[in-house]
Structure 1
Amino acid sequence: MQTNKKFFLVTKEWLELKKMSVKYSSYVKYETVILKHIIPFFDDYTIEQINDDIIVSFFKELIDTQKYSNSTLHTIRYVMKSILEYAEKKYCIQTINFSFIKLNRSKGNLRILSENQKILLEKYCFNHYEPISIAILIALYGGLRIGEICALKWEDVDLNNGIITVSKTVERLKNKENMESKTILMILEPKTQTSKRIVPIPVFLKEYIQNYYDYLTVIDSSYYLLTNSEKIPDPRTIQNQFQRLCQDNNFQINFHSLRHTYATHCVMQEVDLKSLSEMLGHSNISTTLQLYVHSSIEFKMNQINKISAPVISQN
């Protein structure tokens, strides 16, 4: 079948099909990738004009700019490959060989809090009953992501058994209604089924949350933890408050580093890796190993180097 159909029209068809089979958050991510990265490059192309060389050129341009994260590049690759596979089946275009597109899978260096930074945050949080305090402590001693913390309601916290149930996440996404607000906070299912989990918390954190609960005189268990109301907490607000608190203490780090700090300390304390993987909501233990096993090796190297060197006589 020969057609002079424009590539951007094929992307629209693909998006409409995807809308029926993926979560809204995934749909928005794919739409953003298409509008921001793919269409500007391929806008003037028909689907027959696209070949291996053009695809390689497109990705080379993206990579050479060094502006995009590994995650973004992998998403662009997935979307582009999927669109062209759709076009191949529907319009019989030539097969594009994506094996030429090799993207780095390295996770890079995960930043964690230094011991001094950790102490400074702990000192503030344990002395203040504020949303930012409880958010930081749940991330630092439960490993929850910021969206998962914002989605927590009081009914998700079982203080008798010392566990938190994670079943939702909060994301700010494009407003479906296209009204005055361009974006809207949405309560969503977690990214994967394994992200739905039960997380045990240490006794000292359970005691802090109990004191926080009593301090607020909570009325309704269906209220969100961070707002103590029906209002959905905004992850951006928590992130901004966290940044200000870090700046007040003369350091700068991302909120997600609290989760990395939690995982790294668990590894260093020799917490069972399968249990840790489940508490982090990873889909398999290999993900946990890939991200955090280096922490265990560095820790063990430091420990083993405490052994004194033997004294060798010169006889």
Structure 2
Amino acid sequence: MSIRKRTSKKSKNGYVYEVYFNYKTNGITNRYTKSGFKTKKEAQEHEALMLAEVKEKGKINKDSAKTLNQVYKEFLELGANEYQANTILGTKLQYERNVKAQLGDISVKNFDYALLQGYFNKRGSLGIETNKSTRKALNRLLNYAVKVGYIKNNPINLVKVIGIENKREKDQVLLDTELNILLNALESANDFNKKAYSIAIQIGKYTGLRVSEVFALEKEDINFNENCINVNRKLVYDGLKKDEIYATHQMKSKSSKAIIPLASVLKSVLTDWFKINPYDHIICDVEGKYINPKTFSIYMKKLAKKHNINFNFHMLRHTFATTLVMNDVDIKTTQELMRHSDFNTTMTLYTHISKEHKSKVINDVFGLKSVEKVAKTNNEIKTLN
């Protein structure tokens, strides 16, 4: 057995896991050991990576002087399999655009808190969401560097990301009047593709599904008899050409796969759409091919701007969640309908909206008009007495 527990005073659990095994290079037996893994799964992943390196290169390279560019290349070859396709595409995008030129030639052994925090401080004038995405990409690369033994710890865990927050697009609720304007504009175009856009928006409104999930739906996923939708795949499209786009059953999390209710109003919408759409894909172009959500987003941004409406697809998910909370749907049910894997995600959302709702209630109750009304009522009572 090549994984074992070892006692550790520094660990909260009182122990850590160690990887150890022998391997031969040019007929010479070598021994590899690395300890400090918090879980057995982490140790197993590291062991698999090291054995793969031995199989491929005949040895284990302990050269911690490797640059981040070299680690990045190695990560794509050996360490990317544990991530979803969209995650790897996002990592490539962030690295090539934002990391490579500034940090790529630096040895990973020189990466520390000061270097990384300084890097992100210089990016303070950029959008905070972009900086968060860049931090996640770096985190994956440095975690890989830890797994293969190039560095002992990942310093990015201490780094705080700053940046400009786009308040116009974050967590805003779409009003029915705004959605109706956009839907009417799409319907009046009398175009198959625009009609598909309209259907996508309505699915998002009544289900809270993510854009990649909506655009991957098939007719077989809709059960009109049981009034439910089987959410079991998502679209992989980021960085791909139209003919390369595909659907995968590898979802964001285990809870993302679920059977969700089909609202009666959406059932009516889909019933009519299926009479027009002859293809298996629910959201597709006039030739029955997948529609790239980015193409959809570009068109909708222009259309929304024309009508002075702020719109992005994720706002439909937030609107769905807000509608649930504001109608006193309990937290557990909200979590299941949103398919959040972490209860705290739902709790944060629930608490945030509830605070706003309670604040509105208090202001409505104790507003000036309410006080005047109470005073007037009291005076009328006194007069009658």
* 2:149 pairs with 1:101: no
Q: 1:173 to 1:113 in 2, by over 3 A?
A: closer
Name 2:300's counterpart in structure 1. 242
What SS is found at the alignment partner of 2:245?
Answer: strand
Name 1:45's counterpart in structure 2. 106
- Which of 178, 201, 217 is the matching residue for 1:117? 178
Q: Deviations over 1:165-224 (max 9, x none)?
A: 11111121445xxxxx5983121222111111122132222122222223x174x6xx00
RMSD of the TM alignment (CA)?
3.3
Residue 131 of structure 1 and its aligned partner are, at CA, apart by 0.9
* 2:245 pairs with 1:185: yes
Name 1:164's counterpart in structure 2. 229
Q: 1:225 to 1:95 in 2, by over 3 A?
A: closer
Figure out how many residues of one structure are paired with residues of the other and give that number. Answer: 301
* 2:315 pairs with 1:257: yes
Q: Deviations over 1:13-41 (max 9, x none)?
A: 23322123322222222233333333212
- Which of 131, 149, 156 is the matching residue for 2:196? 131
* 2:282 pairs with 1:225: yes
Amino acid at match of 1:138: I
Q: 1: distance between equivalents of 2:154 and 2:277? A: 62
Stretch deviating more after TM superposition (123-132 or 227-236)? 123-132
**Any unmatched runs of 5+ in structure 1?**
176-180
**Any unmatched runs of 5+ in structure 2?**
1-61
Residue 297 of structure 1 and its aligned partner are, at CA, apart by 2.7
Q: 1:270 to 1:40 in 2, by over 3 A?
A: same
Amino acid at match of 2:245: L
Residue 139 of structure 1 and its aligned partner are, at CA, apart by 0.7
Q: 2: distance between equivalents of 1:255 and 1:52? A: 36
Stretch deviating more after TM superposition (26-35 or 280-289)? 26-35
Amino acid at match of 2:282: L
Name 1:145's counterpart in structure 2. 210
Residue 151 of structure 1 and its aligned partner are, at CA, apart by 0.5
Asked if 2 retains the 8 angstrom alpha-carbon contact of 1:173 and 1:184, the reply is no
Name 1:178's counterpart in structure 2. none
Residue 98 of structure 1 and its aligned partner are, at CA, apart by 3.9
What SS is found at the alignment partner of 1:151?
Answer: coil
Q: 1:86 to 1:59 in 2, by over 3 A?
A: farther
Q: Deviations over 1:262-311 (max 9, x none)?
A: 11111111122222221222112321221343223322333344434343
Q: 2: distance between equivalents of 1:254 and 1:102? A: 27
Q: 1: distance between equivalents of 2:64 and 2:105? A: 15
* Identical residues among aligned pairs (%): 24
- TM-score of the aligned structures, taking structure 2 as reference length: 0.67
Q: 1: distance between equivalents of 2:111 and 2:356? A: 48
1:192-203 pair list within 5 angstroms: 192-203=253-264
